[in-house]
Amino acid sequence: MADETKPRSRTMRVLRGLWWLVDTGRRAILNLLLLLVLGAVAWAALRGGPAPLADKTVLVINPQGPIREQFSGSLRENALQKARGSELEQTRLRDLLTALDAGAADPRISSALLVLDDFAGAGLPTLREVAAAVDRFKAGGKKVVAWGSSYDQRQYYLAAHANEVWLHPMGGVEISGMGSQRSYFKGALDQLGVTAHVVRAGRFKNAAETLAADGPSPETGEADRELYDGLWADYTSAVEYARRLPRGSLDRALAELPERLAAAGGDGAKLAAREGLIDAMKTRDELRAALIARGERDGESFRQIGFGAYAARFAPPPAGDTVAVVVAEGPIVDGDAGPGTIGGLSTAALVRDAREDKQVRAVVLRVNSPGGSAFGSELVRRELELTRAAGKPVVVSMGDVAASGGFWISTAADEILADPATITGSIGVIAVLPTAERGLERLGIHTEGYRTGWLAGGYDPRQPLDPRLEQVLQSSIGHVYGQFLARVAAARKTTPERIDEIGQGRVWTGAQARVRGLVDRSGGLRDALAVAAARAKLAPGYRVHYVERSPGSAERLMAWFGGLGASALEPLLQPALQAALPPPLPAPLAELKQQTAWLLQSADGRRPAAMAHCLCAAP
């Protein structure tokens, strides 16, 4: 018999050799990657900070996407985008304010340039915060130029505050007014056999009206008229004052737009110049040449620095008496949530961290929220109440929207500041329970079973809503509304009956809310910080610290990398990111998803979701 052991042993030797090659190659690649990471960290450390800034540098303010209180969305996506060297499609308000205020006092910064083509907007209170910083920059004797290929209504609000407004010859200024259009889904839901059962406290509490009606109620029409007329008057007066235009100019221009545009030969840029909205028409290369002539050349362009890179030079000191800022932005949910959403647990934990920090002497809660879960709102409010009880002043600064649950969490403050255009109020509570028994019946689907009592199983969307459950919910919602009224009345030093008169789920502008005693004074974030510092008896030069969730290890690694190796990492990470993202929905379905998502955010299967939500947004 032939000896078969030798061929087998040769095969095993070959396989062992191949495995050694694979294992050695794997170790070499991992060691090489480790050396690259260590080299990148060492290179960053040896650089010793940013390069010195030369004289006659232009500060470029070119916000990307919307302006937010904090970066929202997936930390992994944001970190990857930063690692690739790309601009995030959102801009942080604090970075704009830091850059403009620091630039105003920096002798190396000669002027500022507003480039607004990629700015996707913000609410009027946020726009006013940035415009006020532009005005402070100008007050130091430095010029500000705004340029755009065209300006929409929000972009132009900022541009109007520049010393000079330049526009591309083929552009225009698109100012149209304010208002909102809502889609009403009752007819569509009827066809599907779905009924939205709405239980609410407050005649003006219309957050679920789009699901249960075919059009706006008289209360909605009344509230919308007063709200948008007030916001539009605020916008036009601010722009007319900034551009030194006669009062009422914008309204007259809009009323006569067809005739005036025809007289300008259909040329939008020419019309903007005639109306006094712009100072000159310049292409991008002409803009570049003009700024080179006014300053210093740097290669093929003028000497410049972006606001993000410039703001990063001004990190707060690591220690000292501190005013802590906790950002409460987005809808309110019960548990933990990332940036862009207020988690009852996670945001309350941030407030608790500020309270337990011995360097923190006062807390500013920056609210930009339409509300959400009443329970999540109460978790945050309670931590603020404990912070005041610990002897640390709490001041609320309301941003674009601080309504419903956003107002609930504000009631624990020593003082509330709101912009005149902040959307606030909406003191009311709502719950919505959709049932689809008619739709299932059309499909021939029937639901039957045994229960020991009518409440066993409780709410079942496959069956008609039991009137007794609706009565229970109405009592529960009424109780939560009573708590809401009591908290506001105690905070505003009045009676629940008085708050009920101005509550009822109605939204107000900040100016209207101040007249009605819901806020203490008008002002922005800068004013709120000053009020908090004064209440804590802090001397000038106090530290401002944003209390936020610490970045994870993956995000820190991305930050270390900077642009190094990003192009190699992207093909590996991008498929996972894409797989995690749902496909885009058609516009009507996307709107329905947006308007119903808040109903599910605090539903945990254990209790009805009492929602303090206004479904409102900055116009």
The residues annotated with a catalytic role in the active site are 205, 404
Evaluate whether 402 touches 424 at the Cβ level (below 8 Å).
yes
CA distance 104 to 134: 9
CA distance 424 to 124: 13
CA distance 70 to 327: 7
Please name the residues in contact with 524: beta carbons below 8 A apart, sequence gap of 6 or more: 125, 128, 129, 132, 397, 417, 419
Nearest to 204 by CA among 619, 470, 514, 507: 507
Please name the residues in contact with 223: beta carbons below 8 A apart, sequence gap of 6 or more: 204, 206, 506, 507
CB atoms within 10 A of CB 42: 10
Q: What is the CA radius of gyration of the chain?
A: 29
Can you give the three-state secondary structure of 133-162, one letter per residue? HHHHHHHCCCEEEEEECCEEHHHHHHHCCC
Query: Looking at beta carbons, which pairs linking 229-237 to residues 24 or more positions away fall under 8 Å?
Result: 230/421, 230/509, 230/511, 230/512, 231/124, 231/178, 231/421, 231/509, 231/619, 232/177, 232/178, 234/124, 234/420, 234/421, 234/509, 234/511, 235/124, 235/153, 235/157, 235/178, 235/421
**Three-state secondary-structure class, residue 232:** helix
251, burial (CB in 10 Å: exposed 0-12, middle 13-18, buried 19+): middle
Evaluate whether 156 touches 239 at the Cβ level (below 8 Å).
yes
Phi, psi of 44 (to 5 degrees): -65, -40
Evaluate whether 116 touches 80 at the Cβ level (below 8 Å).
no
